[in-house]
A and B are shown apart, each in its own frame.
Chain A
Amino acid sequence: MYILKRFFTMILTIWVIATLTFVMMKFIPGDPFASDADVLPEEVLNNMRAKYNLDKPIAVQYVLYIKDLVSLDLGPSIQSRTRSVNDIILSGFPPSALLGAQALVLALVFGLLLGIIAALYHNRFIDYLAMIIAIIGISIPSFILAPLLIKFFSVEWGLFPVATWGTWKHTVLPSLALASMPLAVVARFMRSSMIEVMNANYIKTADAKGLSTAGIVIKHGIRNAILPVVSFIGPLFASLITGTFVIEKIFAIPGIGRYFVDSIFNRDYPVIMGTTIFFSVILVVTLFLIDISYRLIDPRISLTSKEG
C-alpha cells in the first residue's frame, strides 16, 4: 500500500518537475536558432520553428510535450538535427553510468574505511592523518584534480591514457577525479557518527561481554552509524550516474553529462526537458529506495503511521 502510494506521488513529482522546468525554460530569453538567424532566410527559420512546434502558443507546446512524454517519446533534438533525445540518452548514459558507479563504489569503500578507522583512533595520529586526507579531498575541486591526474599519471608516467573512451584503463582517472570529493564527505560523516555510536551504552555492553573490536564495529557500530552516509549517497548516486559536465569535458567522454549544461546554453528545449526528466526519474526512484532502506538498516524507524 505504501509502495503503491509512493509510486503515484513519484509520477506526480516528476510531472511537477517537468512543468516547472518547462515554464522556467520558456521564461529565459533566447532562441535555439539564434546562430542560424543570420545565414538562413526567414522562411526556412519559420519552417524549422514549425517543425519543433515553436510557432504555437506556449500552452499548446506544453500539452503536445506532455502527450509525447506519456508515450515515452522525448522528441527530436534541435542542436543535433539527426538524433532524437531518446538516442542521445541511450548512447550517452552507459559511459556516464559506468564512471559514476565506479566512482561511487570507490568513494563508499575507501570513505567508510577511512571514517571508521579515524573514529576508532579518535584524536590520535591515525585520526588526524585520515582527516587530513579527507580535507585535501574536499579542498581540491575536481576541475583542478583532473588536470593534475592527467599531468602525472598520463603525461609524466604514462600509466593511463590521457582522455577519450575505450578500454577500462580509460575509466580509471575520471573515476578517481569523480570519487575524491564524495570519498572525503563519506569519511567525515562516518567518522562523526561512528564516534557518537562508539560512545553508546550498547557498545560498552558488547565490549564488556568480551566481543572482539572487529565484531563490535561490524555488528553494532557500522549499522547504527551508517545512516547519514546513506542519506548522503542517495542524491549523489543520481547525479553521479547521469554524468558530470566538468569531468566529461576534461576527459572527452561521450557521456550525457555535458547535455545538461550545453542544452541550456543552446536553448535546445527538447534536450533540456529530456535530460531533466531522465535525471528526475532516477532521482525520485533512488530517494524512494533510500527511504525504504532506512527501515532495513534500523528497524526502529517508521516512515508512516500505519507501519509504526
Chain B
Amino acid sequence: MNLINKPLIVVENLCKGFEDGEVLRNVSFTIREGDLASIIGPSGCGKSTFMRCLNCLELLDSGSISIAGVTISRRPGQVPDEKMLDIAHEIRSEVGMVFQSYNLFPHKTIIENIMLAPMVVKKQPKDEVYEQAMKLLDKVGLKGFASKYPSTLSGGQSQRAAIARALAMNPRVMLYDEPTSALDPELVGEVLQVMKDLDAEGMTQIIVTHEMKFARDASDYIIFMDNGEIVEYDDGDILFTAPKSERTKAFLRHFVNTGVA
C-alpha cells in the first residue's frame, strides 16, 4: 500500500434501485491507484450491483462516480441524456470487468477473444494486438491455449483467459465479480495468483469475493457491505480481528462457524 498515491476511484452518495426496491443506498468510498480492495458481504447485499454500477453496466440513479478523471454524476430523477451515456461508455473503456461465469465469446478462439476489443474498439493494428495478446496469455499462464476454443478450457483456465481479455484494453482498474465462485476448489488458487501478480505490478483492482483468506491476505483494504450500504471499510487485518460493527461481527462469525474462510 502506498499512501502517497492519489485517489483513482471516488464514489459519492451512489444510489441505485430497481423496480422491486433500493439496492444501493448512499455508497461513498475512495480507492487509490495501485490498491487492491475486496468487497465482502452476504448474498443480496448489493455487491454485484455496486460493481455493475462502477463500470456503468447499470446506470446509477443518483450520486457520482469518478474513475481516472472521468466523472459521471446524476441528480435524483434526472433523465439520462446522450452525454451521460457517452460518459458511461468512456468509463467502461477505462474499466476491465471479469464475471463469475467468464463470458468468453464461444465463437472465437482464446487469442481472438483477447484481440477482439483492441482491434474493434481501439482500431489497433492486428500484428501489434497479436503480440500484446500473446504476452498477456503468457502472463496468465495460457500460452499454449491461444488457438483453442473456450469450450475446451477448464474453469480456471477460462477465468484466466477472461482476465487477459480484460487486460488487453489496458484498463486503469480491474473489477472482478465473484471471479472464483464458479470454480472447483482446486482451481481457485491459479486465478487468485493472477490477481496477486497484477497487484504486484501496481494494477488497481476491486474484487467481490467469498474467499476470506484471500481477502485478508492480499487486500489493501476490505469493504463489508450489507443491505445496500458500506458498513465497514478498513485494513484487512483490522476488519477481521477487530470489527467495529455488530453486523460485521455477525457475518464473520457465520463464516467461522461454517468453516468457510
Are the chains A and B members of one assembly? no
Chain A contacts to B: CB under 8 angstroms: none
Chain B contacts to A: CB under 8 angstroms: none
